[in-house]
Amino acid sequence: METFDLEQTARIAALITAPRDEAWCENFLRAAPNASFTALTPQIQNGPDTLPYFQLAMPDPGQFIPFSIVHVMDYVLDRGAGIVVHPTTRRDQPPLWVFSFGDILAYKLFQDFKGDPKVYNDKTPPNPADREILKAAPSDSYLPPTARAALGRFMRGPFGHPDPRIGLVTGASLSPRQALMLNLRLSNYGGDRAKLDAALRYLTWFVPKSYSLIPLPDEWPDADMAPV
């Protein structure tokens, strides 16, 4: 498939006025990676969630400089951003789609915006009786340096974390079987589980949807975790 594919652009144009359902989403995500869009100015802008997004839009009639998701993917990941696709260059309608940083990372790693198909298609239930947990550091192929850097910048910035670190844990009691562990502890949030869970949900923006983020137990040290 071409990096810039006007046939995919036409498929998306036909979806703009169609009712949104599961088939609509599948068709959009199939066409989106190589469709030819135009880039807006500024190219990267914070969204309502305060997170940065590369701004793409369906092109106006006539000649335009083409941009596609696969074309800007590495640039976007290097800058810790997501991508938003607008139906018009005027941005006068709700976006067609908003891709998180983790969505773009998932496409880079798996050619699938939803993440690793082997993980999200695995319906094996967790085994809570098996409490063995193996600890390791995530490899660069599992969590590339660009993703580590984006997580680290955010944790040091808005979260005010002095030394953000990450690990990888594996166990039959987990769902999915592997999870990324961040050195955020319940004690950091005064024992308020709701606040800790909210912090972790916010950070899921940086990882594929098939990944899981869990906190570091209060009694576990973080010295053997990898800095981000």
pLDDT, tens digit, for every residue of 108-125? Answer: 999 999 999 999 998 888
Using 50, 70 and 90 to split pLDDT, how confident is the model at 190?
very high
Tens digits of residue pLDDT in 201-227: 999 999 999 999 999 999 999 988 999
Q: Check if the beta carbon of residue 71 is closer than 8 Å to that of residue 122.
A: no
Q: What are phi and psi of 84, to 5 degrees?
A: -120, 140
Answer whether residue 113 is part of any domain: no
Using 50, 70 and 90 to split pLDDT, how confident is the model at 2?
low
pTM: 0.95
Domain with 158, as residue range(s), is: 121-227
Answer whether residue 147 is part of any domain: yes
Tens digits of residue pLDDT in 44-85: 999 999 999 999 999 999 999 999 999 999 999 999 999 999
Tens digits of residue pLDDT in 10-20: 999 999 999 99
Q: Check if the beta carbon of residue 107 is closer than 8 Å to that of residue 113.
A: yes
Strand ranges in 63-132 using DSSP code E only, listed in sequence order: 82-86, 97-99
User: Does one domain contain both 216 and 133?
Assistant: yes
Domain total for the chain? 2
